[in-house]
Amino acid sequence: MSGGAVSTPSVAGDEQAKPTLKRVMGPLLLLLFIVGDILGTGIYALTGQVAKQVGGVVWLPFVVAFAVALMTAFSYLELVTKYPKAAGAALYTHKAFGIHFVTFIVAFAVMCSGITSASTASRAFAANMANAFDLNLAGGFGITAVGLAFMALVAAINFRGVSESVKFNVVLTCVELSGLLIIIFIGLTAMSAGEGDVSRALEFKAAEDGGAFWPVIAGTTLAFFAMVGFEDSVNMAEECKDPVRHFPKVLLAGLVITGLIYVAVSVSAITLVPADKLGQGETPLLQVVQAGAPNFPLWVFAIITMFAVANSALINMLMASRLLYGMSNEHVLPALLGKVHAKRRTPYVAIGFTTLLAFGLITFVGEVPALGGTTALLLLCVFTVVNIAVLVLRRDPVGHEHFKTPSFLPVVGALSCAFLAGPWTGRDPLQYKVAGVLIGIGIALWVVTVLVNRATGQKPAEPAVVPSASE
């Protein structure tokens, strides 16, 4: 077979009869996918919360988060070029440790992080729409209804095809990037005119013991949520034209671009708005526009913010459905979730399943204050496992050339991610409770999966890597 599809001795004939995902993503679309995924809800919503933690040096936690994300990205690069398939962290965990239960929990944690982020983004989309057009959405019920309708639209775009989805992502990425460039331009204009106070960018908010270390670490646990997203791209490996050749340069370029934008936005924001004021409310960048360009139509920036969070929702739901598709092909999840639509060539059952979960979160969970931190917590735990897995899998050679990261980076990356996931960082205890509930749901689903596998006579199989179409 070609296309990086999974095949095992017991099901080879069935796998060859199934339609495979369509390879449509070149380097530019992949770059825009990565940039658009990272430049999402995080930077638009978290800048003020980070400032509340660290004071004027709001840019520093983003730099620390970038460094930690970069080390983990090198691990992902080695693994995705070594195994160019759609399952991502779950596949790497399965190949490294061979424990199906652990594989399932990792897959579920990643999937949950994507769906909860998308669900939160859908509600943020509804709230921003109400703000932009001065709509009365009848409180929480109206926000929920619009959020559900928006998520249904995301599912329809996802089902139509990855080509349409990533092209729509190009439009949304350009819109959300324009919003951040507006902030940077307003900041530079203000600085050149002698307005604002750029010296605030060097002011620390000390902790009760007088030190600045723990406030920066606490800010980093928030800022890390804004840096995640690059890992979603590995779940699109089977839909890239040449993943082995394109991923290293494109992923690193995407991280550097977004890191520089984050620093520039943070400095612009703190120059125009003091840290204590920036940390108030849920629209920190809107405060920057008001302070630096009072004549700029605020409804325009509200619409830009609306499109920015829409982009996050689309990309996260793309990732979640492709992750379920990949894990189904590895027989860790029921085979039903691996079905690909014969005409649209998209994993339609996985799209429907993830959309239903998102509907449940939008309806019954709503806006949980600790949701963003819980997402980052889950992914930090997953990243710890991935950094360990890349070292374990050095004993598994493959028959093609691939990227290889220096060995010290996964070691430092694993230690850094584990450290940032710990309670000593000042993380809200509620985040651990929410994560515990999610993992509990994962364990329940694992039991269901085992029962389904037994009923159908299917057993999880050791993944077998097949050369991709570009090899």
Is residue 471 scored above 50 in pLDDT?
Answer: no
* Rounded mean pLDDT, 269-285: 85
4 lies in some domain = no
pLDDT at residue 269, as a whole number: 93
pLDDT at residue 385, as a whole number: 95
* Rounded mean pLDDT, 117-146: 75
CB 345 within 8 A of CB 102: no
Is residue 400 scored above 90 in pLDDT?
Answer: no
Greater model confidence, 444 or 258: 258
466 lies in some domain = no
- Cβ neighbours of residue 348 closer than 8 Å, sequence gap 6 or more: 159, 339, 340, 341
CB 97 within 8 A of CB 442: no
* Rounded mean pLDDT, 158-173: 71
Distance CA(68)–CA(217), nearest Å, equals 12
The H-or-E segment that residue 410 falls in is: helix 408-420
CA 238 vs. chain centroid, Å, equals: 18
Distance CA(31)–CA(250), nearest Å, equals 6
pLDDT digits (tens, 9 = 90+) for 446-456: 777 778 778 87
Is residue 169 scored above 70 in pLDDT?
Answer: no
465 lies in some domain = no
Distance CA(158)–CA(459), nearest Å, equals 29
Q: Nearest 5°: phi and psi at 104?
A: -65, -45
Residue type, 296: F
On whether the pTM is more than 0.75, the answer is: yes
pLDDT at residue 146, as a whole number: 86
How many CB atoms neighbour CB 141 within 10 A?
A: 9
For residue 438, give the CATH number of its domain: 1.20.1740.10
SS3 248: helix
Distance CA(235)–CA(319), nearest Å, equals 6
Vertex 301 angle, CA 300 and 304, to 5°: 95
pLDDT at residue 4, as a whole number: 33
SS3 240: strand
What is the C-alpha end-to-end distance of the chain, expressed in Å? 12
pLDDT at residue 164, as a whole number: 59
pLDDT digits (tens, 9 = 90+) for 21-36: 566 577 787 787 788 7
pLDDT at residue 415, as a whole number: 97
pLDDT band with cut points at 50, 70 and 90 for residue 442: confident
- Alpha helix (H) ranges present in 133-242? 139-160, 162-192, 213-227
8 lies in some domain = no
Distance CA(76)–CA(48), nearest Å, equals 30
Total count of domains within the chain: 1
350 lies in some domain = yes
SS3 55: strand
Domain that holds residue 383: 23-456
Average pLDDT over the chain, rounded to whole?
A: 80
Which two three-digit tokens encode residue 224?
């890390």
pLDDT band with cut points at 50, 70 and 90 for residue 279: confident
CB 187 within 8 A of CB 292: yes
pLDDT digits (tens, 9 = 90+) for 221-256: 888 888 877 776 776 666 677 777 777 888 889 899
Residue type, 35: V
pLDDT band with cut points at 50, 70 and 90 for residue 74: very high
7 lies in some domain = no
201 lies in some domain = yes
* Rounded mean pLDDT, 395-411: 88
Partners of 119 in beta bridges? none
SS3 5: coil
Q: How many residues does the chain have?
A: 471
3 lies in some domain = no
CB 358 within 8 A of CB 151: yes
